[in-house]
Amino acid sequence: MARHVLLKVDSTMNEAARLAPGLSGPAWIFAHEQTAARGRRGRDWRAPAGNFSATLVLRPREGLAQAALYSFVAALALEAALAHVGGPHARLSIKWPNDVLLNGGKIAGILLESLALPRGAHALAIGIGVNLAAAPPRDALEPEALPAVSLAGETGLSVEPVEFLPMLAQAFAHYDRQFQDYGFDPIRNAWLARAARLGEEITARTGHETHRGTFETIDATGALILTGPHGRRAISAADIFF
């Protein structure tokens, strides 16, 4: 799998969109520095020196119908790479739909975007940001958001971002092979084994609606299944609060 290593870029997601039409296969785009990184729903993503920023560009075999499930593949790969770095004392979990937590705080986020290619084709860009060295302060976050943490702050361990890239790429390749060979079921089972607050009460906000209930599972489409006072509800997109 190709790797493009850049000293500085506006965002690896933007660079992915620029490079995608000319790529012959999957490629990682890594940057030592981003000047205009973004997260979900256009939110700013702070990426100070020493943190990890990369985007994987690929073309899902089943097209965009399969694309959303790659957030679970990416989350498992991130959790595995961080476990390799952090060792047995790193308490990691995955928050639906696409955040990785360390000791209960957010250490990494994932952003998926569809990229239009010539002749009606599409590619998928999977943006990944990891707080290896530093985390944004509490006042930079939304009021009810989980605290942000870093690998260095929680464990005292340090790893260079460019050294983290092959760890993540190897873990992603492992879970992607499972996904391609056996479908979503093994990915779903592995994800649920690492899911934060599974079986507990959570809050899901979808636009102007708020739903509270027990996080029961995720279904075959990756939707969150919430059981509350009004029964069982499948939620395909939401912000989750504990």
Q: How far is CA 16 from CA 31, 32, 36, 98, 175, in A?
A: 11, 15, 14, 20, 22
CA nearest neighbour of 172 among 86, 83, 74: 74
Q: In terms of DSSP H, where are the helices of 87-225?
A: 151-155, 161-182, 184-193
DSSP state of 146: P
CATH T-level topology, domain 201-241? SH3 type barrels. (2.30.30)
The second-level CATH assignment, the architecture, of 2-193 is 2-Layer Sandwich (3.30)
| Comma-separated ranges of CATH 2.30.30 domains in the chain | 201-241
Q: Give the predicted TM-score (pTM) of the model.
A: 0.92
Q: For residue 138, is pLDDT > 70?
A: no
Q: Summarize pLDDT for 191-204 with one digit per residue, the tens.
A: 999 999 999 999 99
| Comma-separated ranges of CATH 3.30.930.10 domains in the chain | 2-193
CA nearest neighbour of 127 among 30, 51, 8: 30
pLDDT-based confidence at 118, cuts 50/70/90? confident
Backbone angles phi, psi at 78, to 5 degrees: -65, -45
